[in-house]
């Protein structure tokens, strides 16, 4: 069992947790992920390692509440325990001195982009960051991102904060104006697809971090497979970072939808249970 | 009783769940022999002076001796004899391919039906699990530390034998539960998970073995780090990497490996979704490719899911490129699968998976095969029949085409000798690898094989590790 030491809400739907897991903290690196399972009934959920402290033996995860598992996780508090916390999985990000780089983050993707931007900056790169979300309420860590970026552009789809744009708009302007040697993009698959299509036009190498459906996360089921130019790869062991220009995005997007009906059932059932709980504890209060 | 009288006793049939009922549940199909049936079956054994049956068993279970004790009614003695060679009788009795191992060699099989050795083994195994009459004792601590990587049959057998010698054993397992294929692969209706858990818990409690789950060796800790901390390391990581056929269309939604399908169902209990969080998707028309144990398990799970979802017209096909006579699965499972209504398309090989514009599977294009000359393995080689392509309408395709070792454990271990198939090169009698203090056994050495052969390899390696740790050999 792994104890949650700290919990913070970064906005209405994004939560941060610090978890005691010395075996993962020992080896963790930027770009890697863990598999979290809440209890005996839980599913194995992949979440990026947002930060870690080797000496304290802790790992930080940041997640957006989108369905049953992440909502359930978000309802836990410090002191609660998780049944499984396995990792670090996947390969760490390859940090080098590339020159001028752009880090693009969409929504909860800001969390995994932050340690990468930080490491790139420390390695002597000029870092331009673009962070975007549907609206102001979904943004977080603007200040943190600013400290590791030479330039930061913030945008929202609805214009409620920063520039009213999707991230590809400022990206295109910078790519047209400047000589950029590398781009990182992490966010919803559809965003990574459009970023990759754009950077391909400009011939700028682009790394994306894929969030396919996973089961074991250790390379034994193939559920996470993605089609690249050279054939199928397993995201959990060969990735999660890949060359965005080689990915068959349409296949990736359709595979992410496989379990949509079941996800809705699970989520609906969870909310129902929560509401019952609330009703019961509400009764007690009275 | 005279020999003639013994020979006249018919082989006792295993009571089964009715085929129409069992298709709708995940409960065990074979119900186990009663005491009376078990003793009657045990009476059939002729107690051969040179028992050929023992030669057929990969770990050399003392078959006549355990049967003799059983029919005298001394089940404790029967178990004691069994456990000299095999720690997991409740598992092996259920899932060994007896017809190609012990029972194939049984003298009675020459003229009639062999003694049902597996069923008797299961009987005493279950007796022991429910009564715990024969606990293993932890001997004096030797102070030597051994790391066992992987908690499948090979790792467990190795750990138990080392624990019995008094060594301090730690098992590292990447998943959240120990047991390997016994937990994530083989379904509940063939091997109840409670049997596996209690066999493992029992051994671990008696011998003080520590199991660290959630530890992926190669990621969480490397083999080099284990070798620094432990006196010896055994790799029993199995062959868990699924192969996908190299045909167009494998990435459509609805195509999955048998490992994914079975892991969702067995490890994650998806057949009890939404009580358990992990779902599994199955359509009304399923094709399973391959005809080994893995394919049978997949097909039989698919039928059960269809029925439990209330599908009346569900269809499950097994597509196999050779003929009925070559089916590699355990015979009993093949029969059970046929009884449960699974459709077998023999001499058929897929050439392409067809999908719609949304990326969902709609069919599988196949070609007819015929058997040609024998290949090096002695089996007749299937060759395609020209212009015989046809399409089966399906919405789900499960690939059960064999597996190879998962390479994650070997991260940064370029100098460990492996074959082109990715299996570790290790001595058959000792399990020694090309690296000092590093042993290996089970599917990671042989490729997909059987539970009992993996256990045998784990035991031989344990014996060699013990000789090494006690200074008998270097
Ligand atoms: C390597 C990796 C790292 C990840 N890191 C993070 C992270 O740091 N923070 C974070 O919030 N999420 C991360 N994800 C995504 C996270 O695993 C999913 O959001 C989570 O599994 C959803 O579970 P659920 O039961 O809450 O929702 P579900 O009920 O499973 O899904 C609800 C909705 O989310 C969509 N969805 C489901 N799974 C995914 C997915 N993998 N990616 C995108 N959408 C999905 C579904 O289509 C559905 O619309 C990561 C995924 C991978 C593979
Ligand atoms: C569906 C199916 C049905 C089968 N049916 C039968 C049958 O009826 N009869 C029969 O005799 N045989 C059967 N087999 C074959 C049999 O199960 C295997 O031969 C046997 O389990 C091999 O044992 P093992 O210990 O070598 O490996 P496994 O059982 O595969 O165990 C390996 C363990 O190592 C773990 N591991 C892997 N990598 C790492 C790592 N890097 N770090 C830590 N842990 C790791 C895995 O998670 C797993 O728990 C079947 C196999 C399958 C898949
Ligand atoms: S372990 Fe398997 S092969 Fe050996 S006697 Fe028992 S059932 Fe037969
Ligand atoms: S060969 Fe058959 S009859 Fe002879 S000892 Fe073995 S089980 Fe008994
Ligand atoms: S999640 Fe199973 S192979 Fe990647």
Q: pLDDT value at position A286?
A: 40
Tens of pLDDT along A187-215? 999 999 999 999 999 999 999 999 999 99
| Residues at CB less than 6 angstroms from ligand 2 | B 95-97, 149-155, 172-175, 180-181, 185-186, 216-218, 236-238, 240, 262, 293-294, 297, 330, 406, 408-409, 442-444, 448-452, 454
Beta-carbon separation of B279 and A262 below 8 A: yes
Chain B: closest CA distance from residue A33 (Å): 11
Largest CA distance in chain A: 65
Domain B145-240+404-469 classification at class level: alpha beta
* Spans of chain B, pLDDT less than 70: 414
In ligand 5, which atom is closest to the CA atom of A224?
A: 4
Other beta carbons within 10 Å of A64: 17
> Which stretch of DSSP H or E encloses residue A24?
helix A22-25
- The dotted CATH code for B3-131 is 1.10.1060.10
3-state secondary structure of A181: coil
Q: What pLDDT score was predicted for residue A282?
A: 61
Domain ranges of chain B: 3-131, 145-240+404-469, 244-401
| Residue among B63, B100, B31 nearest B334 (CA) | B100
Report the residue among B238, B290, B333 best suited for mutation to probe ligand 2: largest number of ligand atoms under 8 A from its CB: B238
Q: Which helix (H) or strand (E) holds A88?
A: strand A84-89
As a whole number of angstroms, the distance between CA A238 and CA A168 comes to: 27
CA B82 from centroid of its chain's CA atoms: 19
Structure tokens at B386: 């020209």
Fold of B244-401: FAD/NAD(P)-binding domain (3.50.50)
Give which of B368, B381, B401 is closest to B326, Cα–Cα: B381
**The two domains B3-131 and B145-240+404-469 share their CATH topology (first three levels equal):** no
Check the CA dihedral B151-B155-B160-B165 and report its sign: negative
Assign A2 to helix, strand or coil: strand
Q: Compare all CA atoms of chain B with the CA of A87 and give the residue at the minimum distance.
A: B220
Name every chain B residue with its beta carbon within 8 A of the beta carbon of A46: none
Task: Please tell me the distance from the alpha carbon of residue B169 to that of residue B341, in angstroms, as a whole number.
Answer: 46
pLDDT per residue as tens, chain A (286 positions): 999 999 999 998 999 999 999 999 999 998 999 999 999 999 999 999 999 999 999 999 999 999 999 999 999 999 999 999 999 999 999 999 999 999 999 999 999 999 999 999 999 999 999 999 999 999 999 999 999 999 999 999 999 999 999 999 999 999 999 999 999 999 999 999 999 999 999 999 999 999 999 999 999 999 999 999 888 899 999 999 999 999 999 989 988 888 888 888 888 888 888 888 777 766 544 4
| CA-closest residue to ligand 4 atom 2 | B106
């Amino acid at each position: 069992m792994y104890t949650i030491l700290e919990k913070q809400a970064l906005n209405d739907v994004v939560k941060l947790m610090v978890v005691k897991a010395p075996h993962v903290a020992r080896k963790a690196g930027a770009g890697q992920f863990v598999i979290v399972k809440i209890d005996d009934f839980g599913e194995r959920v992949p979440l990026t390692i947002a930060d870690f402290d080797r000496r304290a033996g802790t790992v930080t995860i940041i997640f957006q509440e989108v369905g049953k598992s992440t909502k359930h996780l978000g309802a836990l508090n410090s002191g609660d325990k998780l049944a499984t916390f396995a990792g670090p999985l996947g390969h760490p990000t390859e940090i080098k001195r590339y020159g001028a780089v752009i880090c693009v983050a969409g929504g909860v993707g800001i969390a995994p982009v932050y340690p990468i931007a930080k490491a790139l900056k420390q390695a002597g790169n000029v870092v331009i960051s673009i962070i975007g979300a549907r609206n102001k309420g979904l943004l977080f860590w603007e200040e943190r991102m600013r400290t590791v970026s030479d330039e930061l552009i913030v945008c929202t789809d609805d214009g409620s904060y920063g520039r009213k744009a999707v991230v590809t708009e400022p990206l295109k302007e910078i790519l047209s104006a400047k000589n950029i040697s590398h781009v990182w993009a992490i966010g919803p698959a559809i965003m990574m697809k459009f970023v990759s299509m754009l950077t391909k036009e400009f011939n700028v190498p682009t790394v994306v971090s894929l969030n396919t459906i996973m089961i074991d996360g250790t390379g034994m089921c193939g559920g996470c497979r993605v089609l690249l130019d050279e054939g199928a790869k397993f995201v959990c062991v060969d990735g999660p970072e890949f060359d965005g220009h080689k990915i068959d995005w349409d296949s990736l997007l359709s595979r992410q939808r496989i379990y949509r009906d079941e996800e809705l059932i699970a989520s609906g059932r969870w909310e129902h249970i929560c509401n019952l709980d609330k009703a019961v504890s509400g009764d007690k209060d009275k | 009783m005279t020999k003639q009288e013994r020979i006249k006793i018919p082989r006792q049939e295993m009571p089964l769940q009715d085929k129409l009922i069992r298709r709708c549940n995940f409960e065990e199909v074979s119900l186990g022999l009663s005491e009376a049936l078990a003793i009657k079956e045990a009476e059939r054994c002729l107690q051969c002076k040179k028992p050929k049956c023992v030669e057929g068993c990969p770990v050399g279970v003392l078959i006549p001796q355990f049967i003799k004790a059983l029919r005298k009614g001394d089940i404790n003695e029967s178990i004691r004899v069994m456990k000299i060679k095999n720690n997991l009788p409740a598992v092996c009795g259920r899932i060994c391919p007896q017809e190609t191992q012990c029972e194939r060699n049984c003298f009675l099989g020459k003229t009639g039906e062999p003694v049902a050795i597996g069923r008797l083994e299961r009987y005493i195994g279950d007796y022991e699990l429910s009564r715990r009459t024969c606990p293993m004792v932890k001997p004096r601590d030797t102070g030597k530390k051994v790391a066992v990587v992987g908690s499948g049959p090979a790792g467990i057998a190795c750990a138990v034998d080392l624990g019995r010698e008094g060594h301090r054993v730690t098992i590292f397992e990447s998943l959240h539960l120990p047991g390997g294929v016994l937990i994530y692969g083989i379904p509940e209706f063939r091997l109840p998970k409670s049997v596996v858990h209690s066999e493992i818990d029992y051994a671990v409690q008696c011998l003080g073995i520590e199991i660290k789950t959630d530890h992926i060796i190669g990621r969480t800790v490397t083999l080099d780090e284990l070798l620094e901390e432990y006196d010896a390391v055994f790799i029993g990581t199995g062959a868990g990497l699924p192969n996908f056929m190299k045909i167009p269309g494998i990435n459509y939604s609805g195509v999955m490996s048998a490992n994914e399908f079975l892991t969702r169902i067995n490890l994650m209990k998806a057949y009890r979704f939404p009580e358990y969080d992990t779902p599994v998707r199955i359509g009304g028309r399923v094709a399973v490719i391959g005809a080994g144990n893995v394919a049978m398990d997949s097909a039989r799970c698919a039928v059960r899911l269809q029925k439990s979802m209330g599908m009346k017209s569900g269809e499950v096909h097994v597509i196999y490129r050779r003929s009925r006579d070559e089916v590699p699965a355990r015979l009993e499972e093949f029969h059970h699968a046929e009884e449960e209504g699974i459709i077998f398309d023999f001499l058929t090989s897929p050439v392409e998976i067809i999908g719609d514009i949304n990326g969902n599977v709609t069919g599988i294009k196949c070609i007819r095969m015929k058997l040609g000359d024998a290949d090096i393995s002695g089996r007749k080689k299937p060759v395609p029949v020209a212009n015989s392509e046809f399409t089966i309408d399906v919405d789900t395709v499960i690939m059960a085409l064999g597996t190879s070792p998962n390479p994650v454990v070997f991260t940064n271990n370029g100098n460990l000798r492996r074959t082109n198939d990715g299996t570790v090169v290790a001595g058959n009698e000792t399990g020694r690898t090309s690296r000092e203090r590093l042993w290996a056994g089970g599917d990671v050495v042989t490729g997909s094989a059987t539970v009992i052969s993996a256990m045998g390899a784990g035991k031989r390696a344990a014996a060699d590790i013990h000789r090494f740790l006690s200074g008998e050999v270097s």
